[in-house]
Amino acid sequence: MPAWCLAFVRIVDAVNYRIGRMAMYLFFALMGILMWSAISKQLFNPSLWTLEMAQFAMVAYYILGGPYAMQMGQQVRMDLFYARWSPRRQALTDAITVIALLIYLAVMIWGAWDSLVYSLQLKWPDGSLLPQIGRLERSPTAWRPWLWPIKLTLFIGFLLMLLQSLAFLIRDIATLRGVHIPGAHLHSEPQTEDAA
């Protein structure tokens, strides 16, 4: 395998590992928001921001933790036959199915980018290379937060998932060529069953 492939896999794994570990703490932020929501409803006037902020925290937790979950092999699989296959056959199956995932993620990135551009109201005047930020999109709720931070989070999360999927593809191709790339991927360590 070319050195750039190995470097790409190592960098993507390291970035997604660190971001995923940080994203895990968003769950505590979500719990704090929901606890404040319950307390404020019982003791004070209900806060307007809690429901929407909880949704934003959950989206960030889910989207930024997705590449990490993929890396750790924690995604849902139909495992009727897969676990009994050899690592080479698993790599071949994964290399074929990851193509569909890459296409799906490319469409999701395109949609997230389009939505982010809309929320920032970016306009390119004729002859100008720098965008001018117009009126920022806000939520139609009573709290009216700006939507671009969560849309940027969606774009970054889908991009990280695409990069992790490409790292999987490189690892699967390496496995098919008889090269082992160490890491957190499902094929990185041979699985053995303990005899009971």
Contacts with 38 (C-beta within 8 Å, 6 or more apart), sequence order: none
How far is 17 from 162, CA to CA, in rounded Å? 14
Show pLDDT as tens, one digit a residue, over the chain (196 residues).
788 888 999 999 999 999 999 999 999 999 999 999 999 888 888 788 998 999 999 999 999 999 999 888 877 766 778 778 888 888 888 889 899 999 999 999 999 998 998 888 776 555 444 555 666 888 888 888 999 999 999 999 999 999 999 999 999 898 888 888 876 544 444 444 444 3
Predicted TM-score (pTM) of the model is 0.81
Q: Name the β-bridge partners of 122.
A: 133
Query: The tokens 């920022």 sit on which residue?
Result: 136
Domain boundaries, the chain: 3-176
Q: At what angle do helices 50-71 and 148-176 cross, to 10 degrees?
A: 10
What is the structure's pLDDT at 190?
A: 42
* CA 99 vs CA 2, 161, 170: distances in Å: 21, 13, 12
What is the structure's pLDDT at 109?
A: 97
- CB contact at 8 A, 101 and 165: yes
The continuous run of DSSP H or E covering 123 comes out as strand 122-123
